[in-house]
Amino acid sequence: MYRSIFDTDHELFRDAVRRFMQREITPHVERWREQGQVDREAYLKAGAQGYLLMWAPEEYGGSGLEDFRYEQILYEENLRHGDYGFYLQLHSRMVGNYLGKFGSDEQKQRFLPGAARGEIILGVAMTEPGTGSDLANIQTRAEEHADYWLLNGAKTYISNGLLGDVFVVAARTSAAGEKPAIGLFLIERGMPGFERGRKLDKMGLRCQDTAELFFSDVKIPKSNVLGDPQKGFAQLMQCLAEERLIIAVCSIAHAQVAFDITLEYILERKAFGRLIGTFQDARFKMADMRANIDAIQAFVDSCVTLHNDARLNAELAAEAKYLATELEGRVLDTCVQLHGGAGYMSEFRICRMYTDARVTRIFGGTSEIMKEIIGRSLGLDDRTLK
């Protein structure tokens, strides 16, 4: 499908990113999946090319490139030639964005240049064993003292959990009986009391390290408080629309790659003396996927345009994430089916893509949460229906 949102400069950028991915990322993917994490060198190489924190002003090590379409291209080419588990998007936008929006000048000077070079790897720690998507009920606590905050608690399912050098950690800052409040804190590698747990064994995203984090009387200097320690929930909400758009961008790109791999397979593989692609059932499945991918790609691209104009709202972002991730799941399931027995074998990329895709309907807010957001925007909640 012709995508009208890109111009010549974008396509030149795509060509450069594609060559980088093919040269520096593709050859290492299998090894990364076996070892359970990417090499730190991958971030250093991406940083040397200027592909990390592209949005950051030059004074903080970035390119000042605010056009989100360049990020979109970077993620699309990473998914085509790299791996879902090389989490450029988490490092650069999902976490880096918190520092960009809420960090002090001192914090930006201290962390952003190193992150842009790939020397400092970023992560975010919100999820806890008993809360999932319910951020309002997190149990990790930060207590204020004269010149520091004292952090205690645990986080789980944390991406970049082992590689990460600086984490944005959400913690409850309100005392018992007070109105619930959350603060965001910058926790650095090596802080006393900060420990990593086991590397979690996941269904997919095998080359992306996910771990538990533990905090036992971690003394956080007040210079590491990110923004207002009573307004962390509002800060999180400000960044969620972009986070969900990023997931939508990646999910529809992943579905497109799966489609292309499957089309190539059914045009080469034979059954009962015929190419699989010549059977009506295969043609109809491919036609259905083609139409749906094109439709949702157009919607996601329109959301990118709105985001560039600062007009993307929470409801549209939820729609984009919901539609793209649900379609991704259906496409990957169909593509595995069209591969037959080969689709169930880990040596085939489509099998690995299938397990990688399953989490996108969970992280960043589950599909059920997305439907709640969309439904409430229509006035369909308990308060209005009583």
Mind telling me the catalytic residues? 243
Structure confidence at residue 135 (pLDDT): 73
- Residues whose CB is less than 8 angstroms from the CB of residue 280 and which lie 6 or more positions away in sequence, other chains included: none
Structure confidence at residue 271 (pLDDT): 87
Structure confidence at residue 137 (pLDDT): 81
Structure confidence at residue 1 (pLDDT): 79
Structure confidence at residue 164 (pLDDT): 97
d(CA 201, CA 199) in angstroms, rounded, equals 7
pLDDT one-digit tens code per residue, 191-205: 999 999 999 999 999
User: What domains can be seen in the chain, in order of their start residue?
Assistant: 8-120 (1.10.540.10), 124-229 (2.40.110.10), 234-385 (1.20.140.10)
DSSP for 83-140, please give it: -TTS-HHIIIIIIHHHHHHH--HHHHHHHHHHHHHTSS-EEEE---TTTTT-GGG---
Structure confidence at residue 84 (pLDDT): 83
pLDDT one-digit tens code per residue, 20-62: 999 999 999 999 999 999 999 999 999 999 999 999 999 999 9
Structure confidence at residue 386 (pLDDT): 52
Structure confidence at residue 130 (pLDDT): 77
By C-alpha distance, which of 202, 220, 203 is closest to 211? 202
pLDDT one-digit tens code per residue, 330-374: 999 999 999 999 999 999 999 999 999 999 999 999 999 999 999
Could you say which residues of the chain have pLDDT below 70?
Answer: 132-134, 176, 382-386
DSSP state at residue 22: I
pTM of this structure: 0.94
Structure confidence at residue 170 (pLDDT): 96
d(CA 383, CA 321) in angstroms, rounded, equals 26
d(CA 129, CA 111) in angstroms, rounded, equals 29
Structure confidence at residue 179 (pLDDT): 83
Structure confidence at residue 158 (pLDDT): 95
